[in-house]
Structure 1
């Protein structure tokens, strides 16, 4: 595990962006895994300010809400389109998002797994971390061998995400998410976190016991992980 600690979220984003650029330069048709939420935004800002060619890159989103109407700006499909595809110059439709409009969500989850495998797997998976240690929407208790599936969001996660909605009641209760086992199959994991409110959970994930009670502790099981933190998020590390 490689750990980089920077002074600010912007500097952390720039350092994480350098990892992504290195991957794409080594393989211009790289398969990237994209996270949403606030954690990777400094990374996407830094990538958008570079002249890297992402035109051959394809990718997969980690998760998607169930129950939002098609085209809803709060859906992760819309966020990926706005923050990643357009800003980085990827081809339209290059980033796959779980199909939550399918009548059979379990079948949709299996199709998503097969699509990742058909693409040859993910070369570099970008990750954030939730306040309760969730990776993607794998909430505490998710098995480390879990695959893409329907997941029920905890109240803590829904409360944390309520800032993107008009009221907490509007936050969906279900999602389709890649599993921990799916994430761990990516060849390189890149975790970015910033802010003092993430300090305790970052320390648990990186230095605490490896347990499903803290899903992000599964990072300790992977052979190649780069963690990029600002100084505040690193405040709980020993």
Structure 2
């Protein structure tokens, strides 16, 4: 069954299915603009967590066409490899700098900096920044194995007391980075990263999840049709009424949809 241009609920999660990656990205950009605009009107500023990666490019590019008061926005990101220079082509800091910092000139961008010294100390520093005030919006994706940020299947802790920690990447996550063109082979992918935890990501007043492409279809099917457990970290989204999932036809193609919408 194929569903297009539909909005419905799976558990507490709102799901939108759009005809294409570009349409899903545009809808997500409109949603983000409305959310950020409301935060600035209500509280004078907005605090936003932004995911990196190829799957987020249509969304981020669409942000150029919407009205956002970037001069009132502080941006955080979700993860960064240990042992990777900030100017490396695969660095998430570089992605955020080029696609958000330079493109939109937000008031502030807070970077995870594993090269400052002790990674555990950096986790604590970044967590303190995140907890300074409530987060207004998390903009994230879902990994091919169902991870959120780098919270991996079997290891993700839905009740983690920490908001940032060092995480060991699974072989599947390392292979995804190779397949996306960021590294020449799995051995070149750093084995660990600092990542925001799932409670940190879901602490935002609003969470939007943008997941296009056929390669994400198995993870989305498991997240929406399977049980809520950490074998598929993205399944926790079923329990969050303040989250909205934006899919395209390809990423939604393996979901067992309800008979009516």
- TM-score category of the 2 structures, normalised to the smaller one: over 0.9
Within a 5 Å distance, the mapping from 1:180-195 to structure 2 comes to: 180-195=198-213
Write out aligned runs for 1:211-222 (5 A): 211-222=229-240
Structure 2 unmatched ranges of 5 or more: 1-12, 257-261
Deviation, structure 1 residue 206: 2.1
* Worse-matched range after superposition: 103-112 or 122-131: 103-112
Secondary structure of the 1:79 match is helix
**Contact 1:24–1:54 under 8 Å retained in 2:** no
User: What TM-score, normalized by structure 1, do the two folds share?
Assistant: 0.94
The 8 Å contact of residues 114 and 122 in structure 2, kept in 1 or not, is answered as yes
TM alignment of 1:153-172, pairs within 5 A: 153-162=169-178, 163-172=181-190
Gaps of 5+ in 1: none
- Aligned partner of 1:104 in structure 2 is 118
2:144 counterpart residue number: 131
Supply the RMSD in Å over aligned alpha carbons.
Answer: 1.4
Write the distance in 2 (CA, Å) between the matches of 1:210 and 1:40. Answer: 24
| Helix, strand or coil at the partner of 2:123 | helix
**How far apart in 2 are the matches of 1:196 and 1:24?**
29
Number of aligned pairs?
235
Return the index of the structure with the highest Cα Rg.
2
Q: Which residue of 1 aligns with 2:8?
A: none
CA deviation map 1:183-213 (0-9, x unaligned):
1211111011111221121121123101011
SS at 1:101 equivalent: helix
Q: Are 2:15 and 2:245, in contact at CA under 8 Å, matched by a contact in 1? A: yes
Q: Is the 8 A contact 2:158 2:198 kept in 1?
A: yes
Aligned with 1:205 (options 223, 235, 238): 223
Does structure 1 retain, via aligned residues, the 8 Å contact 2:33–2:66?
no
SS of match in other structure, 1:55: helix
Given that 2:33 and 2:67 are in contact with CA atoms closer than 8 Å, whether structure 1 keeps it comes out as no
TM-score by length of 2: 0.86
Cα distance between partner residues in 2 of 1:54 and 1:216: 29
Q: Distance in 2 between matches of 1:40 and 1:204?
A: 21
Name the SS of the counterpart of 1:39 in structure 2.
helix
Shift of residue 88, structure 1, vs aligned partner: 2.1
The secondary structure found in structure 1 opposite 2:116 is: coil
Could you tell me how far apart the structure 1 residues matched to 2:200 and 2:68 are? 28
Name the residue aligned to 1:45. 61
How far the C-alpha of 1:51 sits from its partner, in A, is 4.3
